[in-house]
Structure 1
Amino acid sequence: MKLLSGLVFSLLLSRIASIPNYKGNSNKLRPVIFMHGIFNKPGESNFSRDYISQAVPGILFYHIDLWNGIVESARNIDTQLSTILPTMQAIMDNHTDTGVTLLCYSQGGVICRAAVEMLAHHNVHTLITLSSPLSGQYGVTSDVEPFVPSKDRAFLWRFWYSWEGQAISIGNYWNDPHHQTKFADPELNVPLARLNNQFAHNFTAEYKRNFVRLERLVMIGGPNDTIITPWQSAHFGFYDKNETALPFEKQPWYLNDAFGLRTLNEANKVMRHTYGGLEHIYWYRTPAVFDCCVIPYIK
């Protein structure tokens, strides 16, 4: 990971310094760390914070207040991780007695997945994702359109799988089912392909070892989401070469247990929740979703 610039490093230190130094939690509740999505707006975490605090009195709630807004949140994911990972680790280090829950919306789910795989000393007990492109994105939706030269997804691999495309976070999880060789090119180093261990790298074994330390993976998504494409990506499903969405059990990286999802699933630690009727922007602020699919896993 490249050295941080002086400005970014100073910002990081100020963020870590502002984290309350809770070394213990008398009621043994696991704190919640919220990771926002792309194009994060001020207040995106407010509903989650308030609703969870009301449902579980005394719980601690943290929002990763980094890489916000239209420009910053669309930067390369590895660049974002350079400050997000140490900030998350600092919070985790303050809660060694309980561990933490990650609650992650949209692109934030990819970032949280990266944190679980890349942090050798994480103590994430439960990872909850709210309509996140866990297996990637293959659709030109409203969040993609501002960045691409063509609206036809069949041709976009040439842009996303270039150095210019990889400077944008969407390119880091653009998964073209017809160009898997390029997606998994180790020289291009697409972050999602690396997290899938679809090519050999120096941290292949470590990524899997860290991922299987999760006690629970909770994935929430639904068929009326018009942003995540296919919507089954929110459940680690994805398209085959015929553009038929298949569940994760039929994905090649699951069958060979490349990063540990099969290990977790066979240990009954993976939960999929399908919730209909919701557009993408409502996942993080709908009480019914929290009642059924979030609150039960953080108590």
Structure 2
Amino acid sequence: MVLWFCRLSISAHLRSRRGFTDGKLRLFSSLCMSMKTLSSILTSPALVLLLAGGCTSAYKHVLIVHGILSGPETLQRTLSGFIKRAHPGTKVTVIDLFNHRDSTKPLWKQVHGFGRVIQRIARRSPEGVHLLCFSQGGPICRGVLSVLPNHNVHTFIALSSPLAGQYGVPESLYKYLPSSSRHSIHFFCYSKIAQNLMSVCNYWNDPHHHYKYLKHNNYLPLLNGEKLNSQTAEWRNNFLRIRKLVLIGGPDDEVIIPWQSSQFGFYNSQGAIIDMRSQRFYREDTFGLRTLDARGDIIMCSQSGVKHTEWQSNPRVFNRCIREWLD
């Protein structure tokens, strides 16, 4: 169309020749050729694809890890759906591993299994990935981020996870275990058999038997740097590779006990809640939490009125606490 208009104009002027010198004719012809070139560029398929790609910003791949006695099915319908509607074109993978009964296997076994999958996907995503982990998935993802060297996880979102441990029996289990049973669970959980058998025991944190927790728990105190090992410094450096840490929880959860564990708060030996910044592992920066906080890279999002099984399907939680961090 541009070239046709130029040719029509030149033809009309050639017929009249009035006030149209040879110099002006050459200049006008040159301008027409430039416009033709520009027109070709703007309508080229390559540019159209490039502009389309720029308009639909490439969001990072989101990897989701499920919780205990669960699998990928519900998360594919809920969280995955929220993400794809909010950020069209986003790749979302709900990892299909250690589902349902297998989710009770010891956490180190799960860390190595999930870690292999996360590493494989991350290597195909040079721009980086986000990690969104629900409930028990939070402690698992902490382990993965600690042991994986040179990972490219940008944002770690822990959705109602017992990050500082669990010390309580949810109401839903009262028919099987009385609430008072939490005072005697340490006899079982802090045994070698239980530590190598059941996931919950790997983050069971009895504040009244802290010595036994440090001595016999072979998972959480190692991640926290409360119990030193030869890899503590390396794990800290690996964990600090994340750009953002988003901690989501709320007072009406009823499963994560205390609920503040989802934001690294926990009981002291008298039963009072000690918040994250007063925890020894924060003050001594044993695994990098204080460093992340000093960088301004810890985001806490608390939401009341949400039961534990509702976090993944609550649109308000997604819009308030998650959406912003999945760039």
Check whether TM > 0.5: yes
Name which of 53, 59, 76 aligns with 2:90. Answer: 59
> 5+ residue gaps in structure 1?
1-24
3-state SS, counterpart of residue 152 of structure 1: helix
- After the TM superposition, which segments of 4 or more aligned residues of structure 1 sit over 4 Å from their partners? 142-151
How much has 1:212 moved relative to structure 2?
1.3
- The residue aligned with 1:179 is 209
How much has 1:246 moved relative to structure 2?
1.4
TM-score by length of 1: 0.86
Are positions 1:163 and 2:182 aligned together?
no
How much has 1:150 moved relative to structure 2?
8.5
Q: 1:123 is aligned with what amino acid? A: N
- The residue aligned with 1:81 is 111
Kindly report which structure 2 residues correspond to 1:47-196, keeping only aligned pairs within 5 A, or say none: 47-69=78-100, 71-96=101-126, 98-141=127-170, 151-166=180-195, 167-185=197-215, 188-196=216-224
2:172 and 2:156 mapped to 1: Cα distance? 24
Q: 1:29 is aligned with what amino acid? A: Y
How much has 1:42 moved relative to structure 2?
5.2
> 5+ residue gaps in structure 2?
1-52
Q: 1:88 is aligned with what amino acid? A: I
2:72–2:94 Cα contact (<8 Å) kept: no
1:36–1:44 Cα contact (<8 Å) kept: no
What's the CA shift string for 1:199-226, capped at 9, x where partnerless?
1212100111111111100011000010
What's the CA shift string for 1:128-187, capped at 9, x where partnerless?
1110000000001257669979952122111110123211000000001122221111xx
1:38 and 1:72 mapped to 2: Cα distance? 9
2:168–2:179 Cα contact (<8 Å) kept: no
1:173 and 1:149 mapped to 2: Cα distance? 20
What's the CA shift string for 1:60-82, capped at 9, x where partnerless?
1011100001x200111111122
More helix by proportion, 1 or 2?
Answer: 2
How much has 1:29 moved relative to structure 2?
1.5
- The residue aligned with 1:199 is 227
3-state SS, counterpart of residue 179 of structure 1: helix
3-state SS, counterpart of residue 97 of structure 2: coil
Name which of 11, 16, 28 aligns with 2:58. Answer: 28
TM-score by length of 2: 0.79
- The residue aligned with 1:20 is none
Higher relative contact order (CA 8 A, sep 6+): 1
Are positions 1:218 and 2:246 aligned together?
yes
Name which of 276, 291, 305 aligns with 1:248. Answer: 276
User: How many residues are treated as equivalent by the alignment?
Assistant: 271
- The residue aligned with 2:69 is 39
1:229 and 1:112 mapped to 2: Cα distance? 19
2:112–2:144 Cα contact (<8 Å) kept: no
What's the CA shift string for 1:68-119, capped at 9, x where partnerless?
01x20011111112211111100110111x1111111000011111111111
2:75 and 2:155 mapped to 1: Cα distance? 18
Q: 1:296 is aligned with what amino acid? A: E
How much has 1:231 moved relative to structure 2?
0.3
3-state SS, counterpart of residue 73 of structure 1: helix
RMSD in angstroms over aligned alpha carbons?
A: 1.9
Q: Which has the larger radius of gyration?
A: 2
